[in-house]
Amino acid sequence: MAELPEVDVAIAGGGPVGCALALALSGSSVSVARVAGEADFADRPIVLSYGSRLILERLGIWDSVRSNPIETIHVSQRGFGRTVMRCADHGLPALGYVTAYSELVAQLAGLTPAGAESLRDWKPADDEVLLQLSRGEKKTGMRARMLVLADGGQNRRTSYARDYRQQAIVAEVTAEHPRSGVAWERFTAEGPLALLPFRDRYALVWSVRPASAAELLGLSDPDFLARLREIFGGRLGNFASVGPRSTFPLSLRYGRIDPAPRVLAIGNAAQTLHPVAGQGLNLGLRDAWELAQMLLDVAKEEIGAPRFLARYARSRSFDRYAGIGFTDFLVRIFSNSLAPLALARGAGLATLDALPPARSFLARRMIFGARALP
């Protein structure tokens, strides 16, 4: 029987988080194998914080990423209450950027080639983990000191789940009076509505109840755009056109960072968040970057050991649970039409707008995470 290939770190997943981890370790003494299998990434928009830009700059790919800068974020609810965050208030060129998910993956994956095998299962041992892989009908294997799950949750052991009973409608729209560099977050009775500058139009992410999603998908383009203007308001004038519409369910899911001995989960494999405030991918990139720095700073025999897994879990705990709690709070507080809560929300937004230190505190945590460190 042939000897199985051995590596220090095996990374399961073909998305940006797993690719970022592999790229951060490339050229080092840590041997890496990325197992991606077949992947098909949609050309959907994704928000990168300025903090994520710094990570991608350190990885050497930022200049290749086409993006639209977000210089201003306008947050409001229907009726009373709004706040505005501007990059100039924080001495930054942008608060974030909107890019195509597929293009980001292509840039990262092009520098971190992966095997075509898919991860079927794994079996941990004292000083290694045995990976069971497959490529079509062919089965093979691999030995690694540590397995990192960055596969978007395909192999995740979920310990907590909350169904938000919302569907996100995703589409691209054009507006009569677009405003360059401005992203809009509008809280409605059914959920948040985001309009993000993307290419020469806006990317729409509209969270509604399932029944409303079915109705909105069934409307003609003019009727859909009229409903969108009714909910969003007239800040951009009339909406002129809409591209294909799609929808997906929204939930919060997370599990243990270390789901098994010698196994870590990062990105969506560790936690899947509601898209409000665009925190999910940015949290995952911070997972990857911090894990890479830890791997580069330990002896080989420590990689994947219980002490290493525990130290990583402790180091990411604050940022992770702060991100989970923040997005969950926004969804639960801002997704209802109760009059007392609507008044309290409006007062909160107005107070935030009147207190620059509080607004700066919130903005830095959205940009850099709970540690607020660039």
CATH (domain of 60): 3.50.50.60
pLDDT of residue 1: 42
H helices, E strands: number in the chain: 9, 18
Question: How many domains are contained in the chain?
Answer: 1
**Owner of token pair 């940006």:** 16
Quote the pTM value.
Answer: 0.93
Q: What is the pLDDT of residues 65-116, one digit of tens each?
A: 999 999 999 999 877 788 999 999 999 999 999 999 999 999 998 888 887 7
| CA trace torsion 323, 326, 332, 338 (10° rounding) | -170
Instruction: Tell me the C-alpha distance between 80 and 61, whole Å.
Output: 42
Token output for 270:
């560790």
Instruction: Tell me the C-alpha distance between 222 and 241, whole Å.
Output: 8
Residue 230 in any domain: the answer is no
More confident residue, 145 or 36: 145
Name the β-bridge partners of 133. 119, 140
Instruction: Tell me the C-alpha distance between 196 and 214, whole Å.
Output: 23
Residue 132 in any domain: the answer is yes
- Other CB atoms within a 10 A radius of the CB of residue 54 amount to 16
Q: pLDDT-derived band of residue 137, with 50, 70 and 90 as boundaries?
A: confident
Instruction: Tell me the C-alpha distance between 77 and 284, whole Å.
Output: 29
Residue 46 in any domain: the answer is yes
Q: Which of 151-155, 179-183, 256-260 has the highest mean pLDDT?
A: 179-183
Name the β-bridge partners of 166. 250
Q: Which residues contact 58 (CB under 8 A, 6 or more apart)?
A: 24, 289
pLDDT of residue 371: 66
Residue 236 in any domain: the answer is no
Residue 340 clears pLDDT 80, i.e. is over it: no
Residue 195 in any domain: the answer is no
**Owner of token pair 């990325």:** 34
Residue 214 in any domain: the answer is no
Task: Name residue 132's amino acid.
Answer: Q
| H helix or E strand, kind and range, residue 211 | helix 210-218
Q: What is the pLDDT of residues 219-247, one digit of tens each?
A: 999 999 999 999 999 999 999 999 999 99
Q: Which of 1-15, 169-183, 267-281 has the highest mean pLDDT?
A: 169-183
Residue 131 in any domain: the answer is yes
pLDDT of residue 157: 64
Q: What is the pLDDT of residues 166-183, one digit of tens each?
A: 999 999 999 999 999 999
Instruction: Tell the burial category of 3 from Cβ atoms under 10 Å away from its Cβ (0-12, 13-18, 19+).
Output: exposed
- Other CB atoms within a 10 A radius of the CB of residue 8 amount to 18
- Other CB atoms within a 10 A radius of the CB of residue 319 amount to 20
| Domain residue limits at 149 | 6-158+251-368
Token output for 200:
């020469």
Residue 237 in any domain: the answer is no
- Mean pLDDT, rounded, of the chain: 90
| H helix or E strand, kind and range, residue 23 | helix 16-25
For the chain, the C-alpha Rg in angstroms (whole number) is 21
- Asked if 182 and 151 touch (Cβ cutoff 8 Å), the reply is no
pLDDT of residue 156: 58
Instruction: Tell me the C-alpha distance between 90 and 78, whole Å.
Output: 27
